[in-house]
A and B are shown apart, each in its own frame.
Chain A
Amino acid sequence: MRRYGKTLCRFWGVSVAAEMEYRANFVISCLTTVLTLGGALFTVGLLFQNGHTPGGYSWPAALTVLGVYTLLDGLQQTLLAPNRAALTEHVRSGTLDFVLLKPMHAQFWLSLRRFSPWGLTDVAGGLALVAYAGWCLGVSPRAALTGGVAVLLGGVILYAVGFLLATLTIWFVKLYNITIAMSALLEAGRYPIQAYPAVYRAFFTAVLPVAFMTSVPAAALRGEAGVWWLVGLAAVSGATFGASCLFWRFALRFYTSASS
Chain B
Amino acid sequence: MTAWTRRLRAFFGIEYALMLTYRAEILLWAVATCLPLIMLGVWSQAAESGDFVRSPAWMARYFIAVFLVRQVTIVWVIHHFEFLVVSGRLSPQLLLPVDPVWRYAVAHLAEQACRLPIVVVMLIGCLLLFPTAWRGDAAVGPWAPGLGAVAGGVLACMAAFTLRFVLQYTFALLAFWVERVAAVHELVYLLILFASGMVAPLEVFPAAARDAVLWTPFPWLVWFPAKLLMGESAPVLRGFVTLGGWILVLAVINRVVWRCGLKHHSAMGA
> Which residues of A are in contact with B by a Cβ distance under 8 Å?
22, 25, 28-29, 31-32, 35-36, 38-40, 42-43, 46-47, 49-52, 54-55, 118, 168, 171-178, 180-181, 184-185, 187-188, 191, 195-197, 199-200
Contact = CB atoms under 8 A, between A and B. Distances in A.
Interface in B185-229: 186-187, 190-191, 193-194, 199-200, 204-206, 209
B46 A195 contact: yes
B45 A181 contact: no
B191 A35 contact: yes
A43 B200 contact: yes
> Which label, helix, strand, loop or mixed, suits the secondary structure of the B interface?
helix
A220 B52 CA distance: 30
Contacts of A22: 179-180
A195 B45 contact: yes
Given A28-B186, A52-B52, A180-B28, 12 more contacts: A25-B183, A28-B187, A39-B190, A43-B199, A47-B42, A172-B25, A176-B25, A177-B32, A187-B35, A191-B42, A195-B46, A197-B44
A188 B29 CA distance: 17
B187 A49 contact: no
A208 to B, nearest CB: 10
B51 A49 contact: yes
17 contacts: A28-B184, A35-B187, A35-B194, A39-B193, A39-B194, A39-B199, A42-B194, A43-B199, A46-B200, A46-B204, A49-B204, A118-B183, A172-B24, A173-B22, A180-B28, A184-B31, A187-B35
A173 B34 CA distance: 23
B42 A54 contact: yes
Interface in B29-67: 29, 31-35, 38, 41-42, 44-46, 49, 51-52
Nearest to B21: A174
Contacts, number: 103
Contacts of B191: 35
Contacts of B200: 43, 46
B46, B179, B183 interface centre (most CB from chain A within 10 Å): B46
A47 B209 CA distance: 15
Contacts of B96: none
Given A32-B187, A50-B51, A52-B52, A185 B34 contact: yes
Contact of B187 (A31, A168, A200): A31
A46 B205 contact: yes
Nearest to A55: B45
B270 interface: no
B42 A177 contact: no
A195 B205 CA distance: 19
A191 B35 CA distance: 12
B27 to A, nearest CB: 8
Given A184-B31, A188-B38, A196-B42, A32 B25 contact: no
Contacts of B44: 197
A36 B22 CA distance: 32
A180 B34 CA distance: 11
Contacts of A42: 194, 209
Contact of A185 (B31, B183, B194): B31
